[in-house]
Structure 1
Amino acid sequence: MKTIFSVLVVIVLGTSCEKVINVDLEEAEKKYVIEGEVSNVPGAASTVKISQTKKFEEENVFAGITGATVTIQVNEGITYPLPETSTGIYTTTAFTGTPGSLYKLTVSLNGTVFTATSTMPAQIVSLDTLRVVDFTFGETLKTIEPDYQDPLGLGNSYRFIEYANGVQVKRVFVQDDEVSDGLRITTPLINPDGELESGDVVKVDMLCIDTDVYKYWYSLDQAATGSSNVTPANPVSNISGGALGYFSAHSVTSKTIVVP
Structure 2
Amino acid sequence: MNAKLSFILSSLLLLISSCEEKVDLNLNDATARIVIDAQLSDASPVQRIRISRSVGFDDPINTSGIKGATVWVKDNENRNYSFQYEKDGYYIHRTFKPLSGRTYTLHVDVQKQQYGSTCRMPAYVAVESTHISEKNLGGENYFFAALTFKDPAKISNYYIYTLSTNGGPFRFARAESDQFNDGLKVTHYITDQEKDLSPGDTITVRRYCVDQKTYQYWNEYQSNNLSNAAPGNPKSNISNNALGYFSVAPVMEYKLKITQ
Is TM more than 0.5 here?
A: yes
Question: Quick check: 1:201–1:258 contact (8 Å CA) kept in 2?
Answer: yes
Q: Counterpart in 2 of 1:40?
A: 42
2:33 is the counterpart of 1:31? yes
Query: Cα distance, 1:244 vs. partner?
Result: 0.6
Please list, as runs of the form range in 1=range in 2, the aligned pairs for 1:56-67 lying within 5 A after superposition.
Answer: 56-60=57-61, 63-67=64-68
2:253 is the counterpart of 1:259? no
Q: Counterpart in 2 of 1:195?
A: 196
> How many equivalent residue pairs?
234
**Residues 29-60 of structure 1: per-residue CA shift (max 9 Å, x gap):** 1111101122122x431211112223232113
2:127 is the counterpart of 1:127? yes
**Residues 120-152 of structure 1: per-residue CA shift (max 9 Å, x gap):** 00x221233322112234421112112122111
Relative distance call for 1:70 and 1:184 in structure 2 (3 A) is same
**Residues 89-118 of structure 1: per-residue CA shift (max 9 Å, x gap):** 001023211000000000000110000111
Question: Quick check: 1:130–1:256 contact (8 Å CA) kept in 2?
Answer: no
Q: Counterpart in 2 of 1:8?
A: none
Q: Counterpart in 1 of 2:70?
A: 69
Please list, as runs of the form range in 1=range in 2, the aligned pairs for 1:184-223 lying within 5 A after superposition.
Answer: 184-191=185-192, 193-223=194-224
Q: Which runs of no fewer than 5 residues in structure 1 stay unpaired?
A: 1-20
Question: Quick check: 1:127–1:206 contact (8 Å CA) kept in 2?
Answer: no
> Following the alignment from structure 2 to structure 1, what is the Cα–Cα distance between the partners of residues 143 and 26?
29
> Following the alignment from structure 1 to structure 2, what is the Cα–Cα distance between the partners of residues 225 and 66?
34
Relative distance call for 1:172 and 1:203 in structure 2 (3 A) is closer
> Following the alignment from structure 1 to structure 2, what is the Cα–Cα distance between the partners of residues 209 and 223?
20
Identity %: 27
Letter in 2 for 1:46: Q
Single out whichever of 162-171 and 97-106 deviates more from structure 2.
Answer: 162-171
TM-score by length of 2: 0.83
> Following the alignment from structure 1 to structure 2, what is the Cα–Cα distance between the partners of residues 64 and 194?
29
Q: Hey, which of these two has a bigger chunk of helix by percent?
A: 2
Please list, as runs of the form range in 1=range in 2, the aligned pairs for 1:161-200 lying within 5 A after superposition.
Answer: 161-168=162-169, 170-191=171-192, 193-200=194-201
Relative distance call for 1:61 and 1:24 in structure 2 (3 A) is closer
Question: Quick check: 2:36–2:244 contact (8 Å CA) kept in 1?
Answer: yes
Question: Quick check: 1:50–1:64 contact (8 Å CA) kept in 2?
Answer: yes
> Following the alignment from structure 1 to structure 2, what is the Cα–Cα distance between the partners of residues 215 and 227?
19
Q: Over aligned residues, Cα RMSD in angstroms?
A: 2.2
3-state SS, counterpart of residue 67 of structure 2: coil
Question: Quick check: 1:145–1:188 contact (8 Å CA) kept in 2?
Answer: yes
Question: Quick check: 1:50–1:65 contact (8 Å CA) kept in 2?
Answer: yes
Question: Quick check: 2:143–2:191 contact (8 Å CA) kept in 1?
Answer: no
> Following the alignment from structure 1 to structure 2, what is the Cα–Cα distance between the partners of residues 250 and 110?
29
Q: Counterpart in 1 of 2:22?
A: none
Relative distance call for 1:249 and 1:96 in structure 2 (3 A) is same
Query: Cα distance, 1:171 vs. partner?
Result: 4.2
Letter in 2 for 1:39: S
Relative distance call for 1:239 and 1:136 in structure 2 (3 A) is same
Please list, as runs of the form range in 1=range in 2, the aligned pairs for 1:15-164 lying within 5 A after superposition.
Answer: 23=27, 25=29, 28-41=30-43, 43-60=44-61, 63-75=64-76, 77-121=78-122, 123-138=123-138, 139-164=140-165
> Following the alignment from structure 1 to structure 2, what is the Cα–Cα distance between the partners of residues 98 and 251?
8
Q: Counterpart in 2 of 1:246?
A: 245
3-state SS, counterpart of residue 213 of structure 2: helix
3-state SS, counterpart of residue 214 of structure 1: helix
Letter in 2 for 1:242: N
TM-score by length of 1: 0.83
